[in-house]
Amino acid sequence: MGKIIGVDLGTTNSCVAVIDGGEPLVLPNSEGSRTTPSMVGFTEEGEQFVGQQAKRQAIINPELTVYDIKRLLGHKYNSDQVEKYAEILPFNIVENTNGDAWVEVDGDRYSPQEISSLILRKMRQTAEDYFGEEITEAVITVPAYFNDAQRNATKDAGKIAGLTVRRIINEPTAAALAYGYEETDHANLVVFDLGGGTFDVSIVQLRGGVFEVVSTAGDNHLGGEDFDRVVLDFLMERFEEDTGIDVSDDRMALQRLKEAAENAKCELSTASETNINLPFLAVDDSGPRHLSLDLSRSQLNDLCYELIERLDIPCNDAMDEAGLSNSDIDDVLLVGGMTRMPAVQKRVEEIFDRKPHKGVNPDEVVAKGAAIQSGILGGEIQEVILLDITPFSLGIRVSGDRFSPIIDKNAPVPTSATKIFTTTEDNQDVVTVTVLQGEDDKASANKLLGMFNLTGISPAPAGKPRIEVTFEIDTDGIVDVSAKDLNTGASQSITVEGHSGLSSEELQRAMKRSEKAEASKTFA
């Protein structure tokens, strides 16, 4: 059996690991780095390249460099979040025929799945170069709070990259696996995962080789990119105050400011002050204008105050749903590059009343956990059992646009549940079962997963028929929903495998384009 790779497909950086000799091993890419920037660059000649090379060209060629693509997976073009991203991303975000958010580069349109597949192909190539053999299977991590559409978009990205995705695993769960892989003691673990694009917190119980996720909460729109954005806005405001020039529409200037903001944020994790110097940022009638200022750690903390405040609620929700208090927690594991920020570490200590654990590399621990899961699937690891949960409630729409949950959030998977419903009209012979995912009491505010009609209901007064609706969800997150009239025995069901936003034709076209690029070696 060939190697199954574990991939942390990150918003800012990606990482690939495997089980080698019974231990998780992070693989260096062709540049010798253990992490790869999740950036894709294009040239006017049609060449594509991923990682550091793409990052180097971002300033001089911003419109042909795509990044933060993970934040567009599974999103509609007209969503508030996409509008927010479009304000600062240098490339064009466009609406596809079915309303999904795609990107446009040099006149060509690409789905977020296809861009993500280029990053995954780089991870695959890294493993193939290391082992000298073809890699065809992978375990890929996603934020715990990714919904059905986002998870399936990730699966399609793997398919386009030529990978069979054996399992989608939650990032905090993967981190817990890596942390406790060789632990035998019982422990209650908080996994605090603040990455480039998302924030998740999970409570995991370790019981002698059994990893049981008992609760998870998070914010899919809070991450390092948001911290970069507040610094970028501050720099733009200061430059306009000093020069009177608004550079918000200058894509090259914006990219330079974004990189300066990210570098300053990183430097202030170890230094108390840093200098930001950007010569020739703009030109006016008086000539070239430059940006030069000092930024202190305390200023950065003030700029990011509201973002840091947003960390509290998901942490408290996860603890409440787990039924635990701070005194029950044995360790807090920091995951994701943003956890290097001292203000974040301080807030974690305040929330959980204990110093967080810093014994793992926050950039690599998720990929290592994915590799351990791949080892479990491949039979290389047998003494570890993973029990995960569903991050959202699953249910149906009932009268009055109300949401009726059938499987509750944080239910262990695999699982099944049944509820009895009835009709709302006299002699109603058909009911529509609308399958939803989410936490809002209003059905229309939740994510639509699918719908079907149950026919053949015997005529009866409203409220008389008994309609049994059953939900089943397996370890891959695939949901089966069935409805049955208990009086007549009539039944109907669907399998909700989720819809990534790509039609079968679009998926096939993306796969062919990917294969053609690889064959012509335009992918680097």
Active-site positions?
8, 70, 171, 193
The DSSP string of 270-326 is T-SEEEEEEEEEEEETTEEEEEEEEEEHHHHHHHTHHHHHTTHHHHHHHHHHHT--G
| Angle formed by the axes of helices 171-180 and 365-378, nearest 10° | 80
Rounded CA-CA distance 445/436 in Å is 9
Return the half-sphere exposure (C-beta side, CA atoms, 13 A cut-off) of residue 473.
25
Find the length of the chain: 524
Rounded CA-CA distance 51/36 in Å is 5
Rounded CA-CA distance 395/434 in Å is 8
Rounded CA-CA distance 223/41 in Å is 23
Question: Tokens for 57?
Answer: 């060209």
Sheet hosting strand 415-421, strand order edge to edge: 415-421, 467-473, 479-485, 491-496
Rounded CA-CA distance 478/414 in Å is 10
CA 30, 114, 74, 212 torsion: positive or negative?
negative
Backbone angles phi, psi at 392, to 5 degrees: -130, 155
Rounded CA-CA distance 79/82 in Å is 5
Question: Tokens for 203?
Answer: 């409570």
Closest CA to 215 of 87, 442, 392: 392
Sheet hosting strand 394-398, strand order edge to edge: 402-407, 394-398, 430-437, 447-455
